[in-house]
Structure 1
């Protein structure tokens, strides 16, 4: 199957504390974090930038069509709502040098949802074309294909997502005899993720005046052995208005959503405005995921559900068989009580290397968004610690 990108391929950067606001420090500048230079230069002279864009369009118009194989013949890297992510191994360059692989995000057949999913993918492509930062996934191309796949988005390929690495770590821990089930990532790796993601959010919030809208481990990509971290999936990114509030609905993923977002979704009284601080709460939960190796809130909800079920249903001589008596509605009710709150950390004797990252977790998961730090302050605090 062949297809032609509707837009040009755009080069981007390299392919290849305590619980109080006192953890906030002086803001720091956003840098690459991996020492690599970036080909995109958002602050350059507008006239030169237009000339560069025109040159790129001319080059692409003379280049061969981008060939996207059918989904079944490509290795699947992941999936999402109505989309699959596949590996595209590209042909060598004319001079014989190897071409870096791309991740191809393709819409899958969803019948009545086809147009919605395609529009969302095209929206994401439009957002990514505006962005240029070493900690944001690189845009490569967008195009539409013939049936069965309606559209595709070509992106820089990462080694793995953070959620994949968390699953890998859980499996590794289970294989170790007499190992504590709670085995967080080393503090330095958690700090590296927090710094790089924090830099990306600083760029989005302060320079681009937008929110990511769905921060979580599945949307954090890890290159190499935590050498560089980048965020991806901008399908629900939203602009900030002149007041600094989110335009339209902040979407997110329910169990990662901040209290002010959940309150609006449930039709409650709006107590806090939804601003860039709505990204900082799930940022804190992403740190939680690296510590607990679990999604947020689920353990607390399970404990609450089990306690309620055993109290309501068990008798002195009976045994509650969960597989036969699971009450999904009761479980969802239990879970709803925890969403938007600060999840309980596992009962671990953390050594001093975790002090700063735990402080960031506590600050970012404040229910009052005004008490959460800005991304640039998190970066500043952690970079000072990293230099010690």
Structure 2
């Protein structure tokens, strides 16, 4: 069994809150099968005719490592009542390591089923009712924040810099902070992979919800994160960057979600992936900063990766843009949440206090 499988299996058993004392006498494998059957039976028996169409017949909403997310339109009830569509996360059949991704999807379903919050995507069903493809069904959002950032970039001229209006960034900041506060304080969990791609937007920023809990981790009684933090490298905080390099300078706590929270706001401000601009400048300087060094034939991937690695965990630079006063609160929250030292970052509760105190200073859409 790989380290990833051990981590996922361990977290699946620890993350459960629906078991009883009989679980103490089950082997890890027996416990896992019990949880998977529970997830499937509680949802699928309510709808015995429930069928998940084949992937090619559904519109793809997005994709991630080893999985695809598809739109499933549901037929009206017998009474004529219209039913809302679902987002279906399925494992790619092309993956050789499908068992690992099945375990991750099972783990995510178990986590999501136990979360109830207006700023966390709603769990709908989990199972394998028709084929050998495991799936997780969730409520469907309008778009991901990443998609909206891409849409905004396409609307601008190549040299244009135009952050989202302060009010829309503020709405994302509040809703995501509320979700993190619920996770950290009530559920004792970290999200573990916060970024624009895992933030879903409903309507015109009417509601914002967190999704993708496949690498969530428990927070232990001592405040430390239980297990390995996975995340996505570009958004990793300094304590994780250093730990991955064998340097355990800072503890990994719930503050590990606060740094990528700041970088998610930065994405809405800069319309770019964090750190890339600075890394490109660093790379250009190291290569002599001439036109030939930027050509495709002379591109040195290793040198660029090194330049990018030097930026990880740091506060990304802001774009050269004349921000008006409506952005002051957003920029202040970004600044304090992107501190390298996790002890200097606020908690989600403190972020909400900062946002609440300055809500009247935010402009219009």
TM normalised by structure 2 equals 0.85
Say which SS state the counterpart of residue 86 (structure 1) adopts: strand
Distance 1:287 1:233, change over 3 A: same
Instruction: Determine the structure 2 residue equivalent to 1:219.
Output: 198
Cα separation, 2, equivalents of 1:127 and 1:59: 15
Tell me: higher relative CO, structure 1 or 2? Use CA pairs within 8 A at least 6 residues apart.
Answer: 1
CA offsets, 1:331-356, max 9 Å, x none? 00000000000000011111000000
User: 1:364–1:373: 8 Å Cα contact kept in structure 2?
Assistant: yes
Cα separation, 1, equivalents of 2:42 and 2:204: 38
- The answer to which structure has the higher helix fraction is 2
- Of the three residues 346, 357, 360, the one matched with 1:384 is 357
Cα separation, 2, equivalents of 1:169 and 1:72: 29
- Of the three residues 49, 56, 73, the one matched with 1:89 is 73
2:348 pairs with 1:375: yes
Say which SS state the counterpart of residue 351 (structure 2) adopts: helix
* Alignment: residue pair count: 324
Distance 1:59 1:119, change over 3 A: closer
Cα separation, 1, equivalents of 2:322 and 2:95: 51
Instruction: Determine the structure 2 residue equivalent to 1:139.
Output: 123
Instruction: Determine the structure 1 residue equivalent to 2:57.
Output: 73
Cα separation, 1, equivalents of 2:199 and 2:184: 17
User: How far did 1:265 drift?
Assistant: 1.2
Q: CA RMSD in A?
A: 2.0
Distance 1:157 1:381, change over 3 A: same
Cα separation, 2, equivalents of 1:171 and 1:143: 38
User: 2:153–2:271: 8 Å Cα contact kept in structure 1?
Assistant: yes
2:137 pairs with 1:154: yes
Report 1:204-283 matches (<5 A).
204-268=183-247, 270-283=248-261
- Of the three residues 181, 185, 193, the one matched with 1:202 is 181
Cα separation, 2, equivalents of 1:122 and 1:266: 30
- Of the three residues 250, 270, 280, the one matched with 1:292 is 270
In structure 1, the gaps of 5 or more residues are 1-41, 43-53
CA offsets, 1:155-199, max 9 Å, x none? 000000000000000011128xxxx61100000100000000000
In structure 2, the gaps of 5 or more residues are 1-16, 18-37
User: How far did 1:383 drift?
Assistant: 2.2
Say which SS state the counterpart of residue 287 (structure 1) adopts: helix
Distance 1:161 1:64, change over 3 A: same
